[in-house]
Structure 1
Amino acid sequence: MKINKATGLIVSACLFSIAMESVASTEPKVFGMISVGAVDDEKDFEAEAYELEFGIKGVYELEGFKAAYQLLVDVSDAANADEDTDGEDEIHVRQASVAFPTRYGSFVIAPRSVSGQFRNIYGGLRKFEYNEPHANTPAAGGKIFEQPDEGQNVLAYVSPNWNGFQVVGASLQINEDNGEDHDVISVRALYWGDNWNVGIGRVSVDQEVGPPGADHNYNRDSIGFAYNLDKLELGGVYELNSDRFGGDDSKVLGVAAKYHFSQGWSSSLGYFDKDYDDDDTGTDDSLLVLNLKKQLEKNVSLWAEIGEYDEAEDNIAVGVNIAF
């Protein structure tokens, strides 16, 4: 990752301080998620590892200084690899970060990070297992939403919470050889109410990241909300993608609802629709998804899900989630 000299010195000093001066810490916590099942996506009916995530996190407390660290890896790609491919080395790092919380906000250094833009703005749609509302879901192949669920080489600032209001800014580096120090800039403003929240944000990808000849930054603007009643959860997102590299602009609308029945049963229903301005290089698509889940106990659940697309492949998936 390319960073300027001053930033490099600050990062080095912070990490050196953690290594040399730590005097107290919380016990590291090991956590993870095992999600496995079977899926039929109009190709084969097969066993599938949806998530095999394992991580560790904790906090170092120094004199007047605090650092929170987290490492999370996913080995589901290795488990799903075909017999004739070498999948044992397909260990995917989802989170490797150190955050420095202060009274003036938090400063984050993350060579790899779960996307805060996705978590905060698209959170109201995160009610599904296989048909997840982000660009990297295997179900749709990125044909609905264009917001990834991860970022890399992240330097971020998270403001303090002022009566429910927060702002976040981040710089990401995704190409180390293009001469641009800030490949992606993301900003978002958030408001957290008692049982609802709303967020609006922009992700701007520098034209140097695009193909030769790109003369505009690719911008993604989004607004999302989540609202929780006693047994009903509602969420919605509107995503606008403009000056897409090599493609038409697109608009995506997603809405979802989840209702909690008695005895641990719940059901989620969602509808997502993507429209290109001029359907020359892209294909409009939509998704109707239904999920039924049974929570056996706090960390164990069973689920079944059906996803019907206009263009992408329909799917039926079942699974069991075990968290620890």
Structure 2
Amino acid sequence: MKLSKLVVGIAAFSCFSVFADNGFYGEANVMANWKDNLDQQTGIATGFAGYKDKVKVKDIDVSYQLEGYYAASGDRFIATNESDEFALRVASLIFSTDYGSFYVGKGYSGAYLNLYKRVDIHPFSNSEQYTMNKMLFRQGKYSDSIIAYVTPWYDSAMGKFQAKMALVNPNSNDGANDDVLVGRILYSAGKFNAVINLNRIDEKFSGNADNHHYNRYSFGADYTFNNLTLAYTGEYSENAFSATSIEGYSEQVHSVAISIKQDDFKYGLSYQLVNSELASRDDLGLVIGSVTYSYTKELDFMVEYAKYTGDNDFFVGGNTNPEDDSFTIGARFNF
């Protein structure tokens, strides 16, 4: 295990408990999972802890955040070993003025926070690296080497608008200084929110400079009725990178989610569906249902069921199959 990652993990999990907007914070998830074609698994699924704060420097507000992450090794979808158990996943600075904000560092993907988070509502099958079931949309939850500009919110008779632009360059050895260019417009009016997003991914980022550049268009919206929230995120890929064709392929991923909060309970139901020119991903679906009971502010108990649908070869050859049933129970401790 690399010493630097171990130190980060130990430091992160030695934090004290607070619930303020700024300061030390963290979360640990324990679970027991039963899944077709896999042995029963029990233990800490994921955990993270960090520190964030904000200071005033003349006319500039400077926010900073560091966050360490732990996840049990043995992931079903990517090759890992024990050195991957600890990592620093957020290290960022935000400089805010009346004219907007600049973000620099690594951390949560803006596209994820603004579009995909609204449908990523479940405790165990989600966008984390060590999820119980792999999400079907392509957008990840974290990004490296980010520089972004965010405008202030602009009020109008129709509602509020905001724009975001970013350059993300996670690969420093592919010969491109603009791996991913991002443009995004956010809209909010009362209980309704919507976002449109474009990711332009450089052809060199695929590892094959002969590929066409890859455009990923996304749209997300949600509306809240009292204690019920309806959400949708659509992802439309043009010239998605392919190992067999420099032309790439087109693909759509549709995700819908319903969340209901009632007393100390939260009920979630979601469905994802892929329509793709890539035969192995076409007509692949994922349905997830979950219930979370908030025992206290610090402790939640959760139960979740997930199932892939569709006749395809997307997972064939791995440790899971499209028709897998997955059942998970667990608890989440916040500090």
| Same fold, judged at TM 0.5 (above) | yes
1:108–1:154 contact (8 Å) kept in structure 2:
yes
Instruction: Give the letter aligned to residue 226 of structure 1.
Output: D
Counterpart of 1:108?
103
Secondary structure of the residue aligned to 1:297 is coil
Secondary structure of the residue aligned to 2:118 is helix
Counterpart of 1:275?
275
Secondary structure of the residue aligned to 2:249 is coil
TM superposition shift of 1:276: 0.8
Counterpart of 1:21?
none
2:45–2:130 contact (8 Å) kept in structure 1:
no
Q: 1:177 to 1:31 in 2, by over 3 A?
A: same
TM superposition shift of 1:275: 1.4
Q: 1:145 aligns with which of 113, 137, 148?
A: 137
Counterpart of 1:57?
52
Secondary structure of the residue aligned to 1:268 is strand
- Single out whichever of 89-98 and 220-229 deviates more from structure 2: 89-98
Deviations 1:78-106 (A, max 9, x none): 6989xxx9626631222110000011100
CA RMSD in angstroms comes to 2.4
Deviations 1:163-188 (A, max 9, x none): 22111111011211222111111111
- In structure 2, distance between residues paired with 1:158 and 1:148: 20
Determine whether 1:297 maps to 2:308. Answer: no
Counterpart of 2:236?
240
2:211–2:241 contact (8 Å) kept in structure 1:
no
1:302–1:320 contact (8 Å) kept in structure 2:
yes
Counterpart of 2:153?
161
Structure 1 unaligned residues grouped into runs of 5+ = 1-25
- In structure 2, distance between residues paired with 1:234 and 1:137: 26
TM-score by length of 1: 0.83
Q: 1:181 to 1:86 in 2, by over 3 A?
A: closer
Instruction: Give the letter aligned to residue 159 of structure 1.
Output: T
Q: 1:27 to 1:255 in 2, by over 3 A?
A: closer
Determine whether 1:226 maps to 2:237. Answer: no
Counterpart of 2:308?
309
Q: 1:283 to 1:107 in 2, by over 3 A?
A: same
Q: 2:199 aligns with which of 203, 223, 248?
A: 203
TM superposition shift of 1:135: 8.2
Q: 1:90 to 1:51 in 2, by over 3 A?
A: closer
1:192–1:198 contact (8 Å) kept in structure 2:
yes
TM superposition shift of 1:124: 2.0
Structure 2 unaligned residues grouped into runs of 5+ = 1-19, 243-247, 310-321
Identical aligned residues as a percent: 24
Counterpart of 2:316?
none
TM-score by length of 2: 0.81
Q: 1:216 aligns with which of 208, 212, 217?
A: 212
- In structure 2, distance between residues paired with 1:212 and 1:278: 19
Deviations 1:224-245 (A, max 9, x none): 1121121111111111111111
Counterpart of 1:287?
286
Instruction: Give the letter aligned to residue 38 of structure 1.
Output: A
- In structure 2, distance between residues paired with 1:93 and 1:162: 34
Q: 1:88 to 1:148 in 2, by over 3 A?
A: closer
- In structure 2, distance between residues paired with 1:295 and 1:199: 30
Q: 1:69 to 1:213 in 2, by over 3 A?
A: closer
Aligned length: 291
Q: 1:196 to 1:49 in 2, by over 3 A?
A: farther
Q: Report matched runs for 1:64-213 at 5 Å.
A: 64-77=59-72, 87=82, 90-110=85-105, 112-132=106-126, 134=127, 136=129, 138-142=131-135, 144-163=136-155, 164-213=160-209
- In structure 2, distance between residues paired with 1:231 and 1:45: 35
Instruction: Give the letter aligned to residue 265 of structure 2.
Output: W
